[in-house]
A and B are shown apart, each in its own frame.
Chain A
Amino acid sequence: KAGVTQTPRYLIKTRGQQVTLSCSPISGHRSVSWYQQTPGQGLQFLFEYFSETQRNKGNFPGRFSGRQFSNSRSEMNVSTLELGDSALYLCASSSRQGRSEAFFGQGTRLTVV
């Protein structure tokens, strides 16, 4: 079974631009969640989607958004990029809602210059 796939692995963007990151979950998994990892703040929850519906959202500004498609693939978008958005963005998939284990992708390293 293929794992969680995130594309691209690396991105360099300029302040003010927007960016879209993609995540393909493990086959059969319907829950996809996103996390931001930075040296200063650690791992922080962004949002989670289940069956195309956003179920929970972390404490991030509205510039951060996401969506999930009918095949469970998910995208997250960050608009009007700021230097502080530079981070490793991790996607995780789970087989169901609730407190099941999450399987993570390799992440997308976003650098904002």
Chain B
Amino acid sequence: AQSVTQLGSHVSVSEGALVLLRCNYSSSVPPYLFWYVQYPNQGLQLLLKYTSAATLVKGINGFEAEFKKSETSFHLTKPSAHMSDAAEYFCAVSVVQGAQKLVFGQGTRLTINP
């Protein structure tokens, strides 16, 4: 069965520092992977997706993620954090069952220190 593990429920970085949010997946088939961001009292916004094309995926707001099959990882990075990046981030894997279903990690809350 497909699953996602996000390492670190809470990450804190200084403004201007590198952001690194970790995601490891388990999948019996080539995975489709996604990162979503959630701001307080909002829904989920798609940051980027991996669908078996380029292993380095660029998303919105300066975020990118690299798919590493050997490490079963899909970590999210941003070179320089902004205060507006403070939010909760979810990694998800798409399950192939003839239907649209996402399995999410537990989320990582990102705090930006001024």
Residues in B with CB closer than 8 Å to A105 are: 43
Given contacts A56-B97, A99-B51, contact A45 B42 (CB under 8 A): no
Would A102 and B100 count as touching, CB distance under 8 A? yes
The size class of the interface chain B forms with chain A is: 20 to 34
**Stretch among A13-21, A63-71, A90-98 lining the B interface:** A90-98
Would B44 and A98 count as touching, CB distance under 8 A? no
Residues in B with CB closer than 8 Å to A102 are: 34, 46, 100, 102
Residue among A33, A94, A98, A102 with the highest chain B CB neighbour number at 10 A: A102
Bound together, the chains give a CA A45 to CA B1 distance in angstroms of: 14
* A99 contact from B32, B41, B42, B44, Cβ within 8 A: B32
Given contacts A55-B98, A98-B100, contact A106 B42 (CB under 8 A): yes
Bound together, the chains give a CA A4 to CA B101 distance in angstroms of: 17
Bound together, the chains give a CA A43 to CA B43 distance in angstroms of: 11
Would A48 and B100 count as touching, CB distance under 8 A? yes
Given contacts A42-B107, A43-B90, A104-B36, contact A97 B43 (CB under 8 A): no
Bound together, the chains give a CA A84 to CA B71 distance in angstroms of: 37
**B103 nearest in chain A by CB position:** A45
Residue-by-residue, is A73-101 near B (CB-CB < 8 Å gives 1, otherwise 0)? Answer: 00000000000000000101010011111
Chain B CB within 8 A of A72 CB? no
How far, in Å, is A102 (CB) from chain B's closest CB?
6
Residues in A with CB closer than 8 Å to B107 are: 42-43
Residues on A facing B (Cβ under 8 Å): 4, 6, 31, 33, 35, 42-43, 45, 48, 50, 55-56, 58, 90, 92, 94, 97-107, 109
Q: List 5 A-B contacts (CB under 8 A).
A: A43-B92, A55-B100, A92-B100, A102-B100, A105-B43
